Copies of this chain bind each other. A is one copy, B any other.
Amino acid sequence: MKQNIYDHPLFFEQYAALRNTGITYNDFIEQPAMKSALPVLEGLRILDLGCGTGQFATYCIENGASSVTGVDISSNMIEQANRENKHERIEYINMPIEDLELPPGQFDLIVSSLAVHYIENYDGFVEKASGLLRQEGSFILSTEHPIVTARREMNNWIHDEAGNRLHWALDDYQEEGIREQHWYIDGVIKYHRTLSTLINTLIAHGLVLEKVIEPQSIPAGLELMPGLSNERRKPSFILLKSGKK
């Protein structure tokens, strides 16, 4: 079953409103970390697995990428991408990542930003990415941190009576699989995986781990959204950069 929450009308409307404010969580935490991990983009053929509205594709083109292929399950996302981030060197494909069939070894860089935790078959996902990557190419994925997805009951900041955050609640760490969450709509499904699974699966598919990043907010984020300092208390995201050797 391939989840497509971004095509749920209510979800997409609210998600779009959030994105349109111009300040989102990801812009200050995950995206700067992703960009810091990128190689020089000049001349690269790039695949973006879970490309959303194509902002990252445009970033790649602006930085000299030779081509960008963006894949997303959501037709809402791909429509918006074609309106807002159209370019002759960008191709958008509206398809579940799992169904993507392209000739092997044709990308210099594959990125996947915060998509993996929606995907049931992580092993198949990594196998596909590794297959599409050329020798010496780079694969960078970001996902929700296992510390965040572990506990089945998902309201994980524990507060005192005055509303102060006491600590982050962790549980069920080794119980991999579905976590159901309310995020604008009920029943958004995420998949919890341990750190071992996230990393060992990359290694099993011929990738060499090059860097782990557990990002914090950049200073601009802390100014605009002081609550982002809580990222120091528990990491929301993890980025894994690997290379095909």
Contact = CB atoms under 8 A, between A and B. Distances in A.
Contacts of A158: 158, 167, 169
B231 A214 contact: no
Number of copies of this kind of chain in the complex: 2
A174 to B, nearest CB: 4
A173 B147 contact: yes
A19 interface: no
B173 A170 contact: no
A214 B176 CA distance: 13
Interface stretch (A2-10, A88-96, A192-200): A192-200
Interface string A226-245: 00000111110010000000
Contact of A196 (B166, B167, B168, B214): B214
Interface string A207-241: 01111111010000000000000011111001000
A167 B152 CA distance: 11
Contacts of A238: 195
Contacts of A212: 195-196, 199-200
A175 interface: yes
Contacts of A231: 174
A208 B158 CA distance: 38
Contact of A232 (B173, B200, B213): B173
A203 B210 contact: yes
Contacts of A128: none
A151 interface: yes
A101 to B, nearest CB: 31
A171 interface: yes
Nearest to A235: B173
Contacts of A209: 199, 203, 208-209
Interface of A: 147, 151, 158, 166-175, 194-196, 199-200, 203, 208-214, 216, 231-235, 238
Given A195-B195, A199-B209, 7 more contacts: A151-B167, A158-B169, A166-B169, A167-B171, A168-B171, A169-B169, A203-B209
